[in-house]
Amino acid sequence: MPLFQRILVANRGEIALRVIRTAQEMGIETVAVYSDADRNALHVRRASHAVHIGGSKPAESYLDIGKIIAAARSAGADAIHPGYGFLSENEDFSQACLDHKIEFLGPPPAAILAMGDKVEARKIAQKAGVPLVPGLQEDVDEPRLKAAALQVGYPVMLKAAAGGGGKGIRIVRDESQLLEAFHMARAEAKGAFGDDRVYLEKFVTRPRHVEIQVLADKHGNVVSYGERECSVQRRHQKLVEESPCAALTPAIRKAMGDAACQLARAVGYVGAGTVEFLFSGGRFYFLEMNTRLQVEHPVTEMRFGVDLVREQIRIGAGEKLAPVPEPRGHAIEVRVNAEDPENYFPSLGLITRLSLPGGPGVRLDSALFRGLEVTPFYDSMLAKLVVWGEDRAQAIARCQRALRELRIVGVATSLPVALRTLASDEFQGGDYDTGILERIPKKAAASRRELAMLAAAAARFLVQERAGARSAEATAAASITPRWGLLGRAERLRRTGR
């Protein structure tokens, strides 16, 4: 008998599809929920059942606790998987599942509440003996601001107490910037989380962002599944993740894993969670705990040969943790976002052509298909490309090859940023930090041969398009890059000679 009869997935896109697949492998029926914008989405088509829950805006659908619970009850679901984002770290949602006797495949409300408030999380971490970045644990107000900053010492970082996803954060390098940054951080925190409290901590120079994956069952057992390096970020949001971290020694890796498990025990954690740290100068400091499955969880799955969603379902059903297998090789994940690769502005449109990568050690988590409309209502992430190699060098080469195979036509994507990052000396050497993207040139100079090839491809494409040809050669030429990018670059070549 399956552990549950029917699981509702309170999410959309690739994470909904990913949960549905694991549940189906376990013999469990699945229920998809969808908004107006997602009527034709893949997760709706793949689930055993689907329930419409409202308008395209998240507040009208995926963020409406009442509608999600009503959908679960009407569909006869005995468990809910929240995915990530939306209601995944909402203690009221966890409590609502509890109240309606539906198993929430995540932590209990008290753990979400404790770790969701960054000020409270720092206090708990300190009591549990987890190292902290120097700073003030309580939220600061304007009258105490200058004295607090001087006490901690510049540069400092202002952070939203209820924050997450890189919102409500400001770096302040001297007193002249302090007041303006404080008001901006509070305003952004209020808009994003409905809570304008901010706290202050020391800004760690050249930090690496390293996180530990933990699992905890209902019997008090907590284990660590190693670390993920997440230092390639834009606007405090991750773009490239890898495991293991090249900077950690075995002793530091063990200490970091032990600290993460201590924190999970301290809050009575259940399920999958991630404890994030800053690492600098051979020391690590607690940053925050994400009380959900992370976007980058496939990196851990590839190294450890584990299905973390399956483990979440097993834990929710009351089973004990499985033994942690030995990690093997190296894994890298690249997030592919619908955004301008030069300024990171969102890109909207219709995906008209699509070519997906394959080969040994390559995994693509996505809900992409030809004809998919990329709308302004949801996060810009389109897919996650994950690769595994015997060592880091093979994983990087494999990731570069797979990224070049991936073609998405119709919207601009972050693929050029990922390729530039993986090709950079800093990333290749493994000695990088959270400022790496600021140091990589936005546009690498193209060789004369590359420019000639682009111009020739554009010319061939124009001839074939006008003739109405749909040969394999035409398809290959068109898939080199989105049409506007290919023809635009060729036109610049013709006009400027460069």
Kindly give, in sequence order, each residue whose CB lies less than 8 Å from that of residue 147, ignoring residues fewer than 6 positions away.
none
Which pLDDT score, from 0 to 100, does residue 443 have? Answer: 57
Which pLDDT score, from 0 to 100, does residue 488 have? Answer: 41
Cβ burial, residue 339 (10 Å; 0-12/13-18/19+)? buried
Measured CA to CA, the distance from residue 274 to residue 121 in angstroms comes to 13
The long-range contacts involving 122-125, CB below 8 angstroms and separated by at least 24 positions, are 122/199, 122/286, 124/263, 124/266, 124/267, 125/263, 125/266, 125/286
Measured CA to CA, the distance from residue 416 to residue 485 in angstroms comes to 12
Q: Tally the C-alpha atoms within 13 A of residue 441's C-alpha that lie toward its C-beta.
A: 6
Which pLDDT score, from 0 to 100, does residue 471 have? Answer: 46
Q: What is the mean pLDDT of each run of 10 residues along the chain (498 residues)?
A: 94 98 98 97 98 97 98 98 97 98 98 92 94 80 89 91 81 94 93 88 91 98 98 92 97 98 98 97 94 98 98 98 97 97 92 97 97 95 98 98 97 97 97 94 50 49 49 38 37 38
Q: Tally the C-alpha atoms within 13 A of residue 15's C-alpha that lie toward its C-beta.
A: 23
Which pLDDT score, from 0 to 100, does residue 181 have? Answer: 95
* pLDDT tens per residue, range 81-124: 999 999 999 999 999 999 999 999 999 999 999 999 888 998 99
Measured CA to CA, the distance from residue 431 to residue 101 in angstroms comes to 49
DSSP 141-180: -HHHHHHHHHHH-SSEEEEETT--TT-SEEEE-SHHHHHH
CATH class for the region spanning 208-439: alpha beta
Residue 357: asked if its preceding bond is cis (omega within 30°), the reply is: no
Measured CA to CA, the distance from residue 81 to residue 8 in angstroms comes to 6
Buried b (16+ CB within 10 A) or exposed e, 443-458: eeeeeeeebeebbebb
73 catalytic, yes or no? no
Distances (CA, A) of 168 to 150, 197, 264, 438, 497: 21, 10, 25, 20, 45
CATH class for the region spanning 6-105: alpha beta
Measured CA to CA, the distance from residue 215 to residue 324 in angstroms comes to 10
Measured CA to CA, the distance from residue 413 to residue 409 in angstroms comes to 9
Which pLDDT score, from 0 to 100, does residue 472 have? Answer: 40
Measured CA to CA, the distance from residue 155 to residue 160 in angstroms comes to 17
Measured CA to CA, the distance from residue 488 to residue 330 in angstroms comes to 38
Measured CA to CA, the distance from residue 63 to residue 195 in angstroms comes to 17
Using only C-alpha atoms, what is the Rg of the chain? Answer: 23
Give which of 38, 27, 29 is closest to 9, Cα–Cα. 29
Q: Which residue has the tokens 């924050």?
A: 163
Q: Which fold has domain 134-202?
A: Dna Ligase; domain 1 (3.30.1490)
Measured CA to CA, the distance from residue 461 to residue 450 in angstroms comes to 16
Residue 155: asked if its preceding bond is cis (omega within 30°), the reply is: yes
Which pLDDT score, from 0 to 100, does residue 126 have? Answer: 93
Q: Which amino acid is at 71?
A: A
Which pLDDT score, from 0 to 100, does residue 165 have? Answer: 66
Which pLDDT score, from 0 to 100, does residue 456 have? Answer: 53
Which pLDDT score, from 0 to 100, does residue 494 have? Answer: 38
Measured CA to CA, the distance from residue 451 to residue 209 in angstroms comes to 37
Which pLDDT score, from 0 to 100, does residue 235 have? Answer: 81
The residue annotated as part of the active site, out of 6, 208, 292, 303, is 292
- Distance between the two ends of the chain, CA-based, in angstroms? 66
Q: Which amino acid is at 406?
A: L
Which pLDDT score, from 0 to 100, does residue 223 have? Answer: 98
Domain spans in the chain, listed from the N-terminal domain onward: 6-105, 134-202, 208-439, 448-496
Phi, psi of 66 (to 5 degrees): -60, -40
